[in-house]
Each structure stands twice: as C-alpha cells, then as structure tokens.
Amino acid sequence: MRRLLIWLGMAPLLVLVNGCTMPSASPVCEPTSSRCRGNAVELCGSDGQWYEAHDCSEATPGDWVCGVVDDGLHACVRDEK
C-alpha cells in the first residue's frame, strides 16, 4: 500500500516532465487575445489555442451576455435587455 502511494505521488511528476517534450498543435490565435463564442468568453492560451474561460449563461445573479469591454477584452456583462 505504501509503495502504491509513492508511485501514485510520483505519477503526476513523470507526466509533468514528459509533457514538456510533447508536440502541440499549431497556434491559431494570439496569446491573451479574447473573443465571444456563443455566450462564452474564450481566451487564447500561451500555446495559441482557444480555451473557454467563462460561460456567461451560467453567471449569476440575473442574466449575463458575452461582450467587449476595455481594450478589446471580452467579458460577461449584464444583459440590459
């Protein structure tokens, strides 16, 4: 049991180290840029891939929609409708 726990503890580290050498997909966006996709805010990661950051449909209280705020940054803003 003790040995199993040691290996379980080490496994994440082995993957972490291995992950540094693995190939990744070609960049499709400028890191830190943002956009609305449906009602979600997406952020471009440092690997140049889009990631969903916030789903505005799940924000509470009230209704929220994805919109552009300062400096072209996208965020969930109150739905004024």
Partner 1 sequence: MNDDTIRRMWDHMAELHQAELIHKPDALEMKIIAKALDRMGIVEHDAFMQSFATTVGLRIYLPFEPGDLSARCALAQAKLCAHEFQHVVQLEEEGTDFMWGYLRSGAYRAIKEGLAYTCNLEVHHWATGELLDCEELAQTLEHYACTEGDIAVCRAILRSAKVTVQDGGILNRSSREVISFLEGEGVQGRQQKGQLDRRK
Positions in the binding site for partner 1 (CB under 8 A) = 2, 5-6, 8-10, 12-13, 15-19, 22, 24, 31-32, 34, 41, 43-47, 49, 51, 53-54, 58-62, 64, 69, 73-78
Give the whole-angstrom CA distance, residue 38 versus residue 65.
Answer: 9
Smaller CB separation from partner 1, 10 or 37: 10
Instruction: Answer whether 34's CB lies under 8 Å from 67's CB.
Output: no
Question: Nearest 10 degrees: CA dihedral of 76, 63, 61, 43?
Answer: -20
How far apart are CB 81 and partner 1 at their closest, in Å? Answer: 16
How far apart are CB 76 and partner 1 at their closest, in Å? Answer: 4
Smaller CB separation from partner 1, 26 or 61: 61
Q: How far is CA 15 from CA 24, 62, 78, in A?
A: 15, 41, 41
How far apart are CB 59 and partner 1 at their closest, in Å? Answer: 5
Cα 74 to the chain's mean position, in Å? 13
